[in-house]
Structure 1
């Protein structure tokens, strides 16, 4: 009599035989079957069972080793080192789930083959955008962003679709030192869509605009475009000055426009020096000066400057400044 038949269930799919097939394991890990074959060929992580017909199958220990290897790679460990660790792991290590404080990103991985991207709290929409980003498909990315904006608006698109995918790419880039090109292409597609929202917005209902800019030398401008597009969608007048705005030029713009509010973004400590904010000109009537982003040193902010910590808080503060919220 042949080996005992076992039934394994993962994600509602039942796999019958003496173990897991290549395809079933690939689906369980969220990777391509060709990736498993590459790992077997290069790193000797291979199935340990065979069917009566000679087909190789992974048992539960084999699958646990592959899951450990996959977690290590997603956490930034080179594949060769991850394979060595998985092969050397004992039963306790294989049974131990990843710690919450681990560098392994939360949520399943999405993407083609070895180009996987972990997205926090994934949804069908973020999975699709992550896949399009990793394939570097600008048409698909633009279509997905526009579909979301037209359905749920800019604010929800930024918070529920774009931010999770951008965070996932940023974490993957920090862990691996790769995917800068993916981040740049996705950022370009997102900025194009947000700029189009600004360009096509209905005439504003407010009399004094909101002025949005990045701090001097700050290159990460997507948050100010997201704020600008969100406000423009609500028919608030906005002017987005973009990245690396010298404080002298920002002061000139304040003097010309007499805005109701000025928002300045800084993503890193190197661009978050609060001292130049004190030299920005006053206006009559007075404008509100609001800063956002993790780069600001809150202790040194001039009196009267408000710091916001979240996109929705920034939207509400700017709405309030123009009397729209």
Structure 2
């Protein structure tokens, strides 16, 4: 007996609104065919097969060539798919993703701004902005393309986060944020600075690619209560950068290492590792009490 979650080519064609000959072409040319086979019966499509075809169809409608769309769908990780199908957050991700693929910067900025205003910085980052950024990166990994999309999305997100109102000039700045030496992924730091600002806490951000000597000079000059150094890649996460901060005579109360690049066993004791934006926010502000 054929399982209930198995579909004929005709049923899938009706569900997608395409001709059966189109499905056959996608199967023969791009390897996007049915995966379920029982002896003595025609191959049938599983629910996962159909979902993959739906994603491929959306990409084609948005202007992605069929061969490229198929390559991306075959290589994608479902948890970082650009068009998340479920819930209001998924709708927000879909909207930003579609606008980004069109390179429609005003629409991307508008939707990113709506997410930040409606959800707050932390929830918007976790539930909408980071999934979009990860999905665009996944597309790049699968196809080697979409660099322009990634740059556009990053620029729009940075603009919105930078527009979050900062505390007035009379509030002491006691938190220092910096990327590790040669680390260029600074957007998570911008999200953290915006999240702090939304809580009324100013931060001094040195941005991307901060040499160890420059980081130490900033620590000595400003005397921060908390320092966070961000590294996205293992090759930029040199533990010596953190060891230098820890060795300062007037060392910060909190020294934190953010991002997935750090190899925790090699980092000096005394460094904390916040695993999320919310945790980084709580860790850094704890040094101010």
State TM-score, norm by structure 2.
0.76
- Matching residue of 1:113: 62
Aligned runs of 1:217-256 on 2, under 5 Å? 217-256=182-221
Q: Choose which of 177, 183, 188 in structure 1 pairs with 2:155.
A: 188
Higher alpha-carbon Rg: 1
Determine the structure 1 residue equivalent to 2:282.
316
Structure 1 residues without counterparts, runs of 5 or longer: 1-18, 27-35, 37-45, 49-57, 70-78
The alignment's C-alpha RMSD in Å is 3.2
> 1:91: which partner in 2?
37
**How do 1:72-87 residues align onto structure 2 when only pairs under 5 Å count?**
80-82=29-31, 86=33
Out of 144, 152, 168, which is 2:135 matched to?
Answer: 168
Deviations 1:212-257 (A, max 9, x none): 1110000111000000000011111201111101111111111111
Gaps in structure 2 of 5+ consecutive residues: 1-9, 70-80
Rounded Cα–Cα distance in structure 2 between residues aligned with 1:206 and 1:303: 31
Describe the SS at the equivalent of 2:232.
coil
Q: What's the offset of the Cα at 1:191?
A: 0.9
How far is the alpha carbon of 1:152 from its aligned partner?
2.1
* Structure 1, 144-153 or 298-307: larger mean CA deviation: 144-153
Q: CA deviation at 1:47?
A: 2.5
Structure-2 residue corresponding to 1:25: 16
C-alpha change, 1:108 and 1:205, in structure 2 (3 Å) is farther
Aligned residues: 254
Give 3-state SS (helix, strand or coil) of 2:20's partner.
coil
TM-score of the two chains, using structure 1 as the length reference:
0.68
Indicate the residue corresponding to 2:259 in structure 1: 293
Does the C-alpha gap of structure 1 residues 196 and 90 become closer, same or farther in structure 2, counting only changes over 3 Å? closer
Report the structure, 1 or 2, having the larger strand content: 1
Distance 1:268 1:120, change over 3 A: farther
Asked if the contact 2:232/2:260 (under 8 Å) is kept, the reply is yes
